[in-house]
Amino acid sequence: MSISSATLPDLLAFEDPALEVRAPIDLPAAQAAIADFLRALGRDVNDPHLLDTPRRVAAAYAEMLTPRETNWTTFPNDEGYAGLVLVKDVPFHSLCQHHLLPFRGVAHVGYLPGDRLFGLSKLARGVELFARDLQVQERLTQQVADWLEETLSPRGVGVVLEAEHMCMSLRGVQVSGSLTRTSVFTGKLADAGPLRDQFLQ
Ligand SMILES: Nc1nc2c(ncn2[C@@H]2O[C@H](COP(=O)(O)OP(=O)(O)OP(=O)(O)O)[C@@H](O)[C@H]2O)c(=O)[nH]1
Ligand SMILES: [Zn+2]
């Protein structure tokens, strides 16, 4: 797939079985379901503060589950830059597929360029593209790495995510502040060595 002209639908059709094109969001149905949910929780949906809550919640989830349109600009690597390109500490948030609660943290995304370079912001936008979904952190990490591999054919890719899961902080085990770290390294970053150390520093 050529990415210089790739659009969001192209990228969402990217041949990862986990990334099939998402069905459209039915806002009125989501809104009705939230009203039912509130009633099931024993709440009075006619309370002035709750009256518009089903619409707000449906809109909020729709927003959190819809990636932004992005122009996936790439550039030729004319100078043959061979070093690590690493964008660190990119904040991201996503929604846990098991509890529909947020998890949020930072992503570190890097690659060893081949023939093409991404505009730097696209590395952060790539994280957001896959994070705006119902996710588990391992899959999100793998999808970002696969996307970089597939679209840039770099000599290596590294993706590290560190996140706090609200489903572990606010409920259940209730451990606030614990961080989950996931990582995927491919190509020349796959083996421990100076390049990997440079990424992890
Ligand atoms: N591997 C993985 N697990 C996750 C992620 N987000 C949440 N989970 C876990 O998914 C599991 C859901 O399993 P269950 O045991 O069915 O859920 P639960 O009874 O609500 O579990 P507790 O959270 O332990 O109360 C929990 O252990 C969560 O911590 C994630 O991104 N990756
Ligand atoms: Zn969860």
- Could you tell me how far CA 178 lies from the centroid of its own chain? 20
Q: Is 49 annotated as a binding residue?
A: no
Among all bound ligands, the one having the nearest atom to the CA of 100 is 2
Residue nearest to atom 10 of ligand 1 (CA): 98
Full domain range(s) for residue 44 = 27-64
* 49 and 110 within one domain: no
Can you tell me the ipTM of this complex?
0.94
Q: Which atom of ligand 1 is nearest to the CA of 165?
A: 6
Kindly tell me the burial class for residue 49, based on how many C-beta atoms sit within 10 Å of its own C-beta (0-12, 13-18, 19 or more): exposed
Quick check: is 1 in a domain? no
Phi, psi of 136 (to 5 degrees): -115, 150
Quick check: is 21 in a domain? no
* 131 and 32 within one domain: no
* 126 and 182 within one domain: yes
The pLDDT tens digits for 111-135 are 999 999 999 999 999 999 999 999 9
Question: What pLDDT does residue 21 have?
Answer: 66
| pLDDT more than 70, % of the chain | 90
Ligand 1 site-directed mutation target among 96, 98, 161, most atoms within 8 Å of CB: 98
Q: Is the shortest distance between the CB of 138 and ligand 1 below 6 Å? A: yes
Answer yes or no: is pLDDT of 15 > 60.
no
Report the alpha-carbon distance of residue 40 to residue 166 in Å, rounded.
23
Among all bound ligands, the one having the nearest atom to the CA of 136 is 1
Report the alpha-carbon distance of residue 159 to residue 148 in Å, rounded.
10
Answer yes or no: is pLDDT of 48 > 80.
yes
* 187 and 164 within one domain: yes
Question: What pLDDT does residue 4 have?
Answer: 43
Answer yes or no: is pLDDT of 79 > 50.
yes
Q: How far apart are the first and last CA of the chain?
A: 33
* 122 and 176 within one domain: yes
Q: Report which DSSP code applies to 180.
A: E
Q: What is the pTM of this model?
A: 0.91
Quick check: is 3 in a domain? no
* 149 and 59 within one domain: no
* 182 and 89 within one domain: yes
Answer yes or no: is pLDDT of 85 > 60.
yes
Give the count of domains, the chain.
2
CA 26–ligand 2 middle distance (angstroms)? 23
Q: Is 99 annotated as a binding residue?
A: yes
* 140 and 115 within one domain: yes
Question: What pLDDT does residue 173 have?
Answer: 95
* 100 and 169 within one domain: yes
Q: What is the CATH number of the domain that holds 160?
A: 3.30.1130.10
